Amino acid sequence: MTEHPDPPGRSYKRLSPLTPLVRSAILVVAVVASSWNDVLRGDLGPLGWVLLAMLVAGAAYGTASWFRTKYWIEADELRVDTGVISRQSRRIRVDRLQGIDIVQPFVARLLGLAELRMDVAGGGSREGSLAFLPLREAHDLRATLLARRDAVRAGHPAGTEDPRTEAEQRTAPPAPEQVVARLDLGMLVVSLLLSPETGAFLVSAAFFIVVFATFGGVGGAAGVVSLVVGLGLTQFRKLSAYYDFTVAQTAAGLQVRRGLFDRSTQTITLARVQGVVISEPLLWRGFGWARLDVAVAGYASGSADGSKPSASTVLPVGPRPLVMWLARHLLQASGGPDPDAVALAAPPVRARWVAPWVRRFLAAGIGEDLVVSRAGLLSRRTHVVPHARVQSLRLHQGPWQRRLGLADVLVDSPPGPVHVRARHRDVREARALLDEAGVRSRAARSL
Amino acid sequence: MDDLFAPPDNEWRAVSAALATMRRVLLLGVGCLVLVVIVVGCLLLSAPAWLVVPLVLFGVALVTCGWIVIGRNARWWGYAERDEDLYIKHGALFRKLVVVPYGRMQYVDVHAGPLEQLFKIASVHLHTASPGTSAVIPGLRADEAARLRDRLTSLGETQAAGL
């Protein structure tokens, strides 16, 4: 591209030369695994040849791609040039950086490499990704970029240099961090064993055993075995994702590090927190445990049901006081209010005609800084959104609800795990809730 | 009209009557088409009259229901512009009300399909950062839609709060 002249001689950097190897690791394994017997016999089968050809082509492309990928920092922008056939040049404004995650997939981790993922406001989720860098370099680059960003935001107009030189910035010690929570392996294992999935497993296993006992035959046994394997796999996935879960307080926000095979480090910028969800499955309540998820603008994925490990989890399991402390910490941008201080009220008794079973587990309330709703018996979830983060408010009323004089109030949040829903409220209360939430969020926005 | 969906301060502004007209024209068009298909099909298959007559009557009843529902629905659309937010209500059976603060708007769409253009109406769609915000006002007169869009965008700019 002519409009993006090549950077001056020495200033650009390349990714790690091992990058193509990491990217094609799966293919290498496939080749070796599929043709192992043939190799031992001395010749490669046809499948082996095809895979080998793909591997060679992939390696050539990967190397070319690595060679053409360069990155450097220039005038408050991180520039990344990529592309073998059609060239691309990305410019990521440093002051638009919301957070930088460091992710280490398993193979990359074996080689001491890491991927740098930049969270850019409004950009596609994986708009800015640099893969792969040596871990040290990734940490340094992350620190440099964040320091630059803070300097730019602090009022250095674009173009003027930071008083410190680049080398100084790179060697500057990272801001002191304070570990707030470290997940104990025993607790994680127990929590996974007591999860709703295990309950569902026991119920279906009991069903199969009854079938087995009544009708004999192997059907029941096969069913139980497949259930055990399925449960084991899903719970192991969670175990490996949440292994060595560490939450630390840093200058940039709350940092979450986790993973057994794939390590990931992500920083939650407190100013971007849209709301939190506190989940308390039935079997955990005896221990006083809870789980905390957060909605951050930009992390579109994530759900609160905990069936899949997700990036929105701040603490997969922990004592309730710690979870509540973390929740208050995450809501700091709105003054650090306590979700437990908001008085929750249940819907009127006549709501049992529309929600016979769940009525008793529904509750909602509005506080000085927060809107809170709660639902669920097997897994009680408390959704919390600060008034300052409310996007829009809705009121719904179906024909049955109209008969009973009930209505739902819904609070819209950006995509994420948090959905505050005050269901089946008395009409007068619903409208009052809507109006009050509107007034309070208006006041909170104009602060 | 009950308290729950009472206008925030003065009155709900109604949408253009052309919305119901357009939908009814569409309904009649589709109804006639289906009727022709049924009649022609029955003639070709030489079906007995006791089968054709109820079918036609059933079709006519459906169209009549649709006619009434369209009218009710169109009457239930309403919006109210306030200083800092926009109220929209709609739905006769499943009633909905949405409040969108101008400061939260990401962008505003004005859409007019071919049929809508024929009737000189357009719909205005407000988007926030939440996909749950379903804030649409259909059936606005074209000039009213343009006015609303301009007002919304200028207010959105001055009150922008982003995320």
In a domain, B7, yes or no: no
The whole-chain average pLDDT of chain B stands at: 87
pLDDT digits (tens, 9 = 90+) for B13-71: 888 889 999 999 999 999 999 889 888 888 888 877 788 888 888 889 999 999 999 99
A259: in domain: no
Looking at the structure, do residues A234 and A281 belong to the same domain, yes or no?
no
Asked if residue B141 and residue B92 are part of one domain, the reply reads yes
Query: Are residues B84 and B49 both part of a single domain?
Result: no
Tell me, yes or no, whether A188 and A170 share the same domain: no
Contact A420, A372 (CB under 8 A): yes
> Which residue among B2, B3, B99 sits closest to A393, beta carbon to beta carbon?
B99
Q: Higher pLDDT residue, A177 or B112? A: B112
Does residue A249 belong to any structural domain of this protein?
no
Q: Tell me how many domains chain A contains.
A: 3
Per the domain annotation, does A88 fall within a domain? yes
Cross-sheet strand order for the sheet of A88-93? A13-14, A70-74, A77-82, A88-93
What is residue A393's predicted lDDT score, i.e. its pLDDT? 93
> For testing the chain A interface, which of B76, B126, B130, B152 should be mutated: the one with the most A CBs within 10 Å?
B130
Contacts 24+ apart (CB under 8 A), A305-310: A305/A379, A306/A195, A306/A279, A306/A379, A307/A197, A307/A234, A308/A237, A309/A237, A309/A238, A309/A241, A309/A242, A310/A417
Is residue B94 located within the same domain as residue B153? Answer: yes
Q: Are A238 and A284 within one domain?
A: no
A359 and A415: one domain? yes
CA distance B5 to chain A (A): 8
Same domain, A212 and A84: no
Residues of B in contact with A413 (CB under 8 A): 130, 132
Gap between the terminal Cα atoms of chain B: 35
Contacts of B85 in chain A (CB under 8 A): 438, 442
Q: Is B97's CB within 8 Å of A394's CB?
A: yes
Residue A424, pLDDT score: 92
Give the range of the structural domain holding residue A234, as residue numbers without chain letter. Answer: 182-242
Test mutation, A412, A424, A440, chain B, max B CBs within 10 A: A412
Q: Are B113 and B151 in the same domain?
A: yes
Interface confidence, given as ipTM, is 0.86
Q: Does residue A418 share a domain with residue A294? A: yes
- Does some domain include residue B12? no
Low-confidence winner among A159-168, B88-97, B115-124 (lowest mean pLDDT)? A159-168
The reply to whether A7 falls in a domain is no
Q: Answer yes or no: is B140 within a domain.
A: yes
For the entire predicted model, the pTM comes to 0.78
Phi, psi dihedrals of residue A217, rounded to the nearest 5°: 80, 175
Query: For residues B20 and A348, what is the distance between their CA atoms, to the nearest angstrom?
Result: 38
Which pLDDT value is given to residue A158? 44
A157 and A60 part of one domain? yes
**Residues in chain A with pLDDT < 50?**
1-5, 7, 10, 123, 125, 157-172, 302-304
Q: Which of B29, B45, B73 is the last residue of a domain?
A: B73
Name the closest residue on chain A to residue B89, using Cα atoms. Answer: A395
Residues of chain B found within 8 Å of residue A409, distances taken between Cβ atoms: none
> Residue B94 belongs to what domain range?
79-159
Interface of A with B (CB under 8 A): 121, 272, 274, 297, 389-399, 402, 407, 410, 412-415, 419, 427-428, 430-431, 434-435, 438, 441-442, 445
pLDDT score recorded for residue A306: 53
| A438: in domain | yes
Measure the CA dihedral A385/A390/A94/B153, to 10°.
180
Q: To which residue do tokens 């221990």 refer?
A: A287
What pLDDT sits at residue A2?
40
- Say if residue B57 is in the same domain as residue B83: no
Evaluate the CA torsion angle B100, B101, B103, B108 in order and state its sign. Answer: positive
Which residue in A121, A431, A438 is closest to B4 by CB distance? A431
Say how many domains are in chain B.
Answer: 2
My answer on whether B83 and B140 are in the same domain is yes
Residue B108 lies in a domain: yes
Say yes or no: A277 and A382 in one domain: yes
The residues pairing with A248 across neighbouring beta strands, listed in sequence order, are A179, A255
Contact criterion met (CB < 8 Å) for B85 and A442: yes
Examine residue B49 and state whether it is found in any structural domain, yes or no: yes
CA-to-CA separations, A365 to A239, A347, A359, A385, in angstroms, rounded: 35, 10, 15, 11
A39 lies in the same domain as A120: yes
Residue A394: its pLDDT value, please? Answer: 93
- Examine residue A97 and state whether it is found in any structural domain, yes or no: yes
User: Is there a domain that residue B13 lies in?
Assistant: no
Nearest to A301 by CA among A88, A117, A116: A117
Degrees, nearest 5: CA angle A395-B98-A384:
65
Residue B2: inside a domain, yes or no? no
My answer on whether B89 and B49 are in the same domain is no
Residues A373 and A421 in one domain: yes
Contact residues on chain A for B4, CB-CB shorter than 8 A: 395, 397, 407, 427-428, 430-431
Residues A189 and A159 in one domain: no
Q: Pick from A174, A200, A224: which residue ends a domain?
A: A174
Neighbour-count burial of B33, counting CB atoms closer than 10 A to its CB (0-12 exposed, 13-18 middle, 19+ buried): exposed
Q: What pairs with residue B151 in β-bridges?
A: none
Domain CATH code at residue B133 = 2.30.29
Asked if B96 and B26 sit in the same domain, the reply is no
What is the model's pLDDT at position A125? Answer: 47
Q: Are residues B69 and B83 in the same domain?
A: no
8 Å CB contact of A438 and B6: no
Nearest to A330 by CA among A419, A249, A438: A249
Q: Are residues B65 and B130 in the same domain?
A: no
Nearest to B84 by CA among B105, B60, B57, B62: B105
Q: Is residue B8 part of a domain?
A: no
> Do A276 and A397 have their domain in common?
yes
Residues B35 and B84 in one domain: no
**Which residues in chain B are closer than 8 Å to A407, comparing Cβ atoms?**
4
Give yes or no: residues B145 and B88 share one domain.
yes
Q: Do B163 and A389 touch (CB under 8 A)?
A: yes
**CA separation for the pair A316, A167 (Å, rounded):** 39
pLDDT at residue B30, as a whole number: 93
Rg of chain A taking only CA atoms, in angstroms: 26
Q: Which residues of A touch B95 (CB under 8 A)?
A: 395-398, 402
